Structure 1
């Protein structure tokens, strides 16, 4: 009896000791590998999914609920006329190479982003900046050409992170930021490894090491989760298997929303898609719900314009491009665009590959044939995004509140509308919330009426994680896998 009690005590002590050894590393699954690791030098969402809030930080940042909170700027003051922002920076911030982060790095970063010839993918974020000055080491003054109610929001984007002049040119392959994790290794085609930065200015994350592993195949992603090779897959590519994870107590399924407007993008500058009647016909040929059911297994919200349904300014314009194959055929005949064959370029995500097959069948029903080409992500960026060499493509735009991309006639779908550009200029200088709502809604209606693209659905965030992990974002207010609050609970 005594021996039995001692054995039980030993087991309890051993169990307690094991509990103290809490796991501090994590492996995150991602569908796409980033083309580089510099968020100021590329448009791919996968860049921010690795480095946003983990490696790089901006003056402000997005919180998990979409609100804008302080980042490297501890506080700020806005002049009475709304044109001058004075930022007070946090003290004791260092880059991962040990050098101090000061106001001069902020000046460098913002001036670099807005310079002529900048490789920044979002130049509109900086277009209204007139001057950036370092008042002292911890104070920066930014002067705008007019009041801008979205400026603090813009500074939270990954494209606006603060970088050092010493490492800016090599951040693509060796990122050096100010975040709680520093870069260790990029094994291209496989993974990126980060480790906790011990000199971080803020609260230390619970995790010590993080690996982002790239698993593009849905079947391989399922197998990796089941085998425990991946601890969490925040954007899981096989929604048809989620029921298996829901039935397994080892896992938790996390379903939320994203900022990802998933669209059938059209090359507006290239015949026959420069004819609004052809674009309208394509829009009416699309059955959104069939795409959501067939490609996303029911996960997704139909959209009729480029705006997130969870945004309070959203206008439901799905009826404007309702599924109507008879109307589509009539419009094509009116435009003299019968017997069309269009090139449909598809990037790797399953929503694009699966959705493309469904859309091709729907277009065939109204007399439009498609030539499908499956592209790797780097090819898509080169040929479609930068080269304009496409007719149709499917992509999810995960940047927050990014309807302003339609004001750039050089953006890949090449929509050029002076009235829309003037509307965005007015929005940029408007701070009154009610007035901004009215302008946002007018913008949504304008691009829907012009049938710029085929608007499909808002991408759902369907994630799978080990049930002992907490702190992963449920929703995606920006394209990020923020690990700062992630921890193992057992």
Structure 2
């Protein structure tokens, strides 16, 4: 009897453990809103991408472009007409049907003159979007663009409903496998599995995104089991502690995050001064001091794992003497610059290191530590800064340098023309050559000081399967995540 009771209890315990279907994900930054079509913060997509909102296409964990709401697509011989076949039976989380009219609305809204989409340039080449029938959408381009499927995979291109588009910032309604539960501002966002999801049901039934800005608090929360996984862990100096503990898995991968010392090119128009700033920075010292060795030095705005990458780190190598000489040539020997730092560890810790390095060549800095909302308002939108540190986590986004109104305000007509040619070129060899030329141009102009490619350093409960190792886009995709015992 005792044996039977013990065995029964063991079976019940094992079953209970095996049935865990909820998860708590740690994030350092809280999103300013939950609408990926109306905000630039990476934290928005980290909550909602593939979980709550979906586009016609999506990025897979290996960076490939995969079908999403569109089950397939055809491209005309001249490359200007893309026809997408939509999945049938798709509904929004309010129960309303998603069809071709919603796709037309979403893409027309994203590319409209008054669009607030942070990546509006993704849709520039679209001439028209037409609902052929409820399950078919035709997109006509002004010129061939082999990157359209890639562009439509961004979080900024998700499909929304006309009835709920204006309230998605606080009450998001999408088509994904999880629906919105609640947002306790300053604390967490809760999602729940959507029972009427059109695709494969996720293994998880509930997901909480918990916001922990302090690295020490993040470490304590993981150790206590209050957080199950922290995909972008903010305290890399403690990773060895987790690696030595069998309760945890340390996940180290790559990201699309080009981490830069952003320079306001209107406030600092002299290329010699910008070059001096770049030569004053010891990249490896920043990586070692701020990221405890996790990161890959870069010399331009391009990911080293991209096959079209050019290693230009030598062009702006650490050379304090050269930095001083360039400042002398520019007549900028008594320079004080405002350095605005957002909350991430790479920015706050890196900022102190870079400020010290700049001081060594005669450039003083006035550091302001900004909260994320402040940084978005003052730096990103207001362009009221001299220097800043930020990681650009959008995939293959060198095209931002063709936008004179972008926050670092680089205006080069030749570069803009080059990017236009890249967009319309389908020959792979020609595209590679032009992308490498583009990397060289912005390095020559020292538009920004290029620091390192952000590593993806995550910590998770060892029983969790399916978390992304790499980050081809800014996402905590939970669609394939499950618990094992």
Task: Determine the structure 1 residue equivalent to 2:173.
Answer: 176
Q: Distance in 2 between matches of 1:137 and 1:63?
A: 26
- Picking from 423, 435, 450, the partner of 2:418 is 423
User: TM-score, normalized by length of structure 2?
Assistant: 0.99
Task: Determine the structure 2 residue equivalent to 1:250.
Answer: 247
Shift of 1:339: 1.3
Task: Determine the structure 1 residue equivalent to 2:4.
Answer: 9
Q: Distance in 2 between matches of 1:58 and 1:316?
A: 33
SS in 1 for 2:232: coil
Q: Distance in 2 between matches of 1:49 and 1:55?
A: 11
CA contact (8 A) 1:150 1:428 kept: yes
Q: Distance in 2 between matches of 1:29 and 1:133?
A: 41
Shift of 1:149: 1.3
Task: Determine the structure 2 residue equivalent to 1:3.
Answer: none
CA contact (8 A) 1:59 1:71 kept: yes
- Picking from 364, 368, 375, the partner of 1:369 is 364
**2:465 matched to 1:470?**
yes
1:245-394 correspondence to structure 2 within 5 Å: 245-270=242-267, 273-394=268-389
Task: Determine the structure 2 residue equivalent to 1:117.
Answer: 114
Q: Distance in 1 between matches of 2:382 and 2:360?
A: 30
Q: Distance in 2 between matches of 1:436 and 1:114?
A: 25
Task: Determine the structure 2 residue equivalent to 1:76.
Answer: 73
Task: Determine the structure 2 residue equivalent to 1:104.
Answer: 101
Shift of 1:439: 1.1
Shift of 1:433: 1.3
Q: Distance in 2 between matches of 1:7 and 1:304?
A: 69
Q: Distance in 2 between matches of 1:168 and 1:445?
A: 40
Runs of 5+ unmatched residues, structure 1: 1-5
Task: Determine the structure 2 residue equivalent to 1:38.
Answer: 35
Q: Distance in 1 between matches of 2:202 and 2:414?
A: 47
**2:475 matched to 1:480?**
yes
- Picking from 403, 409, 412, the partner of 2:404 is 409
Q: Distance in 2 between matches of 1:441 and 1:472?
A: 32
Summarize deviations over 1:198-249 as a string: whole Å, max 9, x none. 0000000000000000000000000000011100000000000000000111
SS in 2 for 1:373: strand
Task: Determine the structure 1 residue equivalent to 2:213.
Answer: 216
Summarize deviations over 1:77-114 as a string: whole Å, max 9, x none. 00000000000000000000000000000000000000
Runs of 4+ residues deviating >4 angstroms: none
CA contact (8 A) 1:149 1:432 kept: no
Shift of 1:407: 0.1
RMSD (CA atoms): 0.6
Shift of 1:263: 0.0
SS in 1 for 2:219: helix
Runs of 5+ unmatched residues, structure 2: none
- Picking from 391, 408, 412, the partner of 1:396 is 391
Task: Determine the structure 2 residue equivalent to 1:54.
Answer: 51
Summarize deviations over 1:319-349 as a string: whole Å, max 9, x none. 0100000000000000000110000000000
Summarize deviations over 1:267-317 as a string: whole Å, max 9, x none. 0011xx100000000000000000000000000000000000001010000
Q: Distance in 2 between matches of 1:119 and 1:41?
A: 6
- Picking from 67, 85, 90, the partner of 2:87 is 90
Number of aligned pairs? 483
Q: Distance in 1 between matches of 2:125 and 2:460?
A: 41
SS in 2 for 1:244: helix
Q: Distance in 2 between matches of 1:118 and 1:79?
A: 28
Shift of 1:42: 0.2
- Picking from 426, 429, 432, the partner of 2:427 is 432
Q: Distance in 2 between matches of 1:407 and 1:93?
A: 37
Shift of 1:431: 1.3
Task: Determine the structure 1 residue equivalent to 2:233.
Answer: 236
Summarize deviations over 1:12-60 as a string: whole Å, max 9, x none. 3322222222210000000000000000000000000000000000000
Shift of 1:365: 0.2
Shift of 1:432: 1.4
Q: Distance in 2 between matches of 1:182 and 1:405?
A: 32
Q: Distance in 1 between matches of 2:72 and 2:146?
A: 17
Shift of 1:7: 2.5
Task: Determine the structure 2 residue equivalent to 1:147.
Answer: 144
**2:167 matched to 1:166?**
no
**2:437 matched to 1:442?**
yes
Shift of 1:10: 2.7
CA contact (8 A) 1:407 1:420 kept: yes
Shift of 1:9: 3.5
- Picking from 128, 131, 134, the partner of 2:128 is 131
**2:185 matched to 1:188?**
yes
